[in-house]
């Protein structure tokens, strides 16, 4: 249920659709070369610089490839590897059915049990199941590529539209729906392997997710087995899992698009009048930093909005699996997860009546900590960029790159450029 975060992406960067949108708005496109002057922009162009967006000669294409790889590794590191312990603890809190215990709603309430789990089980207990998220995301992406090539379904929302916009959007969402439905057994198995206690099962191998998926499929075909009598069949889990995945993807996509458009409107790529190149570090920063900000904001909004549904879906997935989880109250013991829900509505009603409305938000403090860490990394990235620019490129002062003025001053500034050239 969290692996869809890895491959969720929405960007008009470098696409035909994005370039057309930028031409209509008279706004530059990331990754597209342009030496046009824009007197209609509400930002003045410094007299010592002019706009550019290119990485330079063809030899710098390797720099672009390297930056793409580095960006993806950085995004995975910050969004998945670094904050995975908070995701594990959050999911375990959502599964706690005990009444009268701490719901871990505040971020400072999670440190003591997290430290106890680390002390008793080791560091591996905090990153258990992280490889399964990458396996699920990779298989889903491979399936989407195959379906896109064979059935002409848009792989991304940034692909050029070849027909009605709503039709292409619907086809893209159909592609995402098929991939989620097909991966439902893997998603269920990955969730179970993430939350089960390391004390009971020990280390799992890379093939455990496939064996657990097979067991889930068999239990859905033969539901009357004594071992799986309370396990919900897959057809009852498809709807909440798909709703959670697609809902998060839509919010994430909208956030990415909004951040990208805002950044296009407010950012000038400036180059010296004598045709000196803009520093490569600024070009890479302008290309990728908005994507990091958009992904961060989209994931955070989606996680907060769908947190109750995430709690309900997790309990339905784990029901009947006889999974042993860590005691999130102390971190020193383990507890069996026992439930007897019949569906989404029954689960929600049971949680509210027995645990209160806040029972739907158990472990919310771990979510806050998860995105606090990501926000700190984004801030550190921005500060590092500023330090590099100030140290190695003093001729491009940051305060001159992003300035605001009236349209009249913008036009006079551009005229001064023309007179000087």
Identify which of 152, 150, 144 has the alpha carbon closest to the alpha carbon of residue 175: 144
How many Å separate Cα 375 from the centre of its chain?
13
What's the confidence (pLDDT) of residue 26? 41
Query: What is the C-alpha to C-alpha distance for residues 208 and 132, in angstroms, rounded to an integer?
Result: 9
Number of helical (H) and strand (E) elements in the chain, helices listed first: 16, 4
**What 3-state class would DSSP assign to 109?**
helix
What's the confidence (pLDDT) of residue 238? 96
Q: Are 155 and 148 in contact (CB under 8 A)?
A: yes
What's the confidence (pLDDT) of residue 288? 77
What's the confidence (pLDDT) of residue 395? 52
What's the confidence (pLDDT) of residue 355? 92
Give φ, ψ of 335 to 5 degrees: -140, 145
Residue 236 CB-density burial (10 A; 0-12 exposed, 13-18 middle, 19+ buried) = middle
Which residue reads 């699920």 in tokens? Answer: 136
Which residue reads 């008009």 in tokens? Answer: 12
Query: What is the C-alpha to C-alpha distance for residues 5 and 118, in angstroms, rounded to an integer?
Result: 26
What's the confidence (pLDDT) of residue 281? 63
Domain that holds residue 39: 4-420
**Over the chain (421 residues), what is each successive 10-residue block's mean pLDDT?**
53 44 40 37 34 43 62 71 91 86 89 91 88 91 92 77 72 95 96 90 78 90 67 93 95 86 66 48 72 88 96 95 89 89 94 94 95 90 79 54 44 46 46
Query: Which CATH number characterizes residue 49's domain?
Result: 1.50.40.10
Give φ, ψ of 54 to 5 degrees: -90, 155
User: How many structural domains are present in the chain?
Assistant: 1
Residue 174 CB-density burial (10 A; 0-12 exposed, 13-18 middle, 19+ buried) = middle
Residue 221 CB-density burial (10 A; 0-12 exposed, 13-18 middle, 19+ buried) = exposed
What's the confidence (pLDDT) of residue 57? 44
Query: What is the C-alpha to C-alpha distance for residues 228 and 222, in angstroms, rounded to an integer?
Result: 9
Kindly state the tokens that stand for 390.
């100030």
């Amino acid at each position: 249920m969290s692996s869809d975060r890895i491959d969720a992406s929405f960007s008009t960067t470098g696409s035909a659709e994005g370039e057309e949108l930028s031409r209509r708005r008279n706004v530059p496109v990331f990754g597209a070369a342009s030496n046009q002057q824009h007197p209609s922009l509400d930002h003045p162009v410094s007299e010592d610089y002019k706009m550019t967006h290119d990485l330079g000669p063809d030899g710098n294409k390797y720099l672009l490839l390297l930056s793409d790889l580095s960006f993806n590794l950085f995004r995975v590191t910050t969004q998945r590897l670094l904050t995975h312990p908070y995701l594990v603890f959050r999911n375990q809190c959502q599964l706690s059915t005990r009444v009268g215990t701490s719901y871990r709603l505040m971020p400072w309430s999670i440190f003591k049990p997290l430290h106890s789990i680390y002390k008793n089980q080791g560091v591996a207990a905090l990153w258990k199941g992280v490889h399964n998220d990458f396996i699920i995301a990779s298989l889903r992406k491979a399936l989407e590529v195959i379906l896109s090539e064979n059935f002409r379904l848009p792989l991304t929302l940034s692909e050029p539209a070849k027909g009605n916009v709503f039709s292409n959007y619907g086809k893209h969402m159909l592609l995402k729906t098929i991939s989620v439905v097909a991966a439902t057994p893997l998603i269920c198995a990955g969730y179970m392997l993430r939350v089960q206690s390391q004390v009971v099962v020990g280390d799992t191998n890379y093939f455990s997710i496939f064996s657990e998926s097979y067991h889930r499929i068999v239990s859905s075909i033969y539901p009357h087995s004594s071992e799986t009598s309370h396990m919900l069949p897959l057809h009852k889990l498809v709807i909440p899992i798909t709703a959670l995945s697609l809902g998060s993807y839509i919010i994430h996509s909208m956030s990415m698009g909004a951040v990208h458009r805002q950044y296009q409107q407010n950012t000038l790529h400036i180059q010296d009048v004598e045709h000196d190149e803009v520093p490569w570090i600024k070009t890479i920063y302008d290309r990728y930093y908005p994507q990091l900000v958009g992904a961060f904001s989209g994931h955070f909004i989606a996680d907060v909005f769908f947190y109750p549904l995430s709690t309900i879906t997790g309990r339905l997935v784990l029901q009947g699996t006889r999974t042993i989880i860590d005691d999130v109250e102390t971190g020193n013991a383990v507890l069996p997860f026992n439930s007897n829900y019949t569906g989404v509505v029954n689960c929600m009603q049971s949680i509210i009546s027995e645990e209160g409305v806040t029972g739907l938000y158990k472990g919310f403090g771990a979510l806050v900590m998860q995105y606090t860490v990501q926000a700190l990394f984004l801030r550190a990235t921005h500060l590092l960029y500023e330090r590099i620019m100030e140290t190695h490129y003093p001729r491009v002062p940051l305060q001159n790159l992003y300035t605001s003025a009236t349209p009249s001053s913008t036009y006079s500034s551009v005229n001064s450029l023309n007179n000087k050239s």
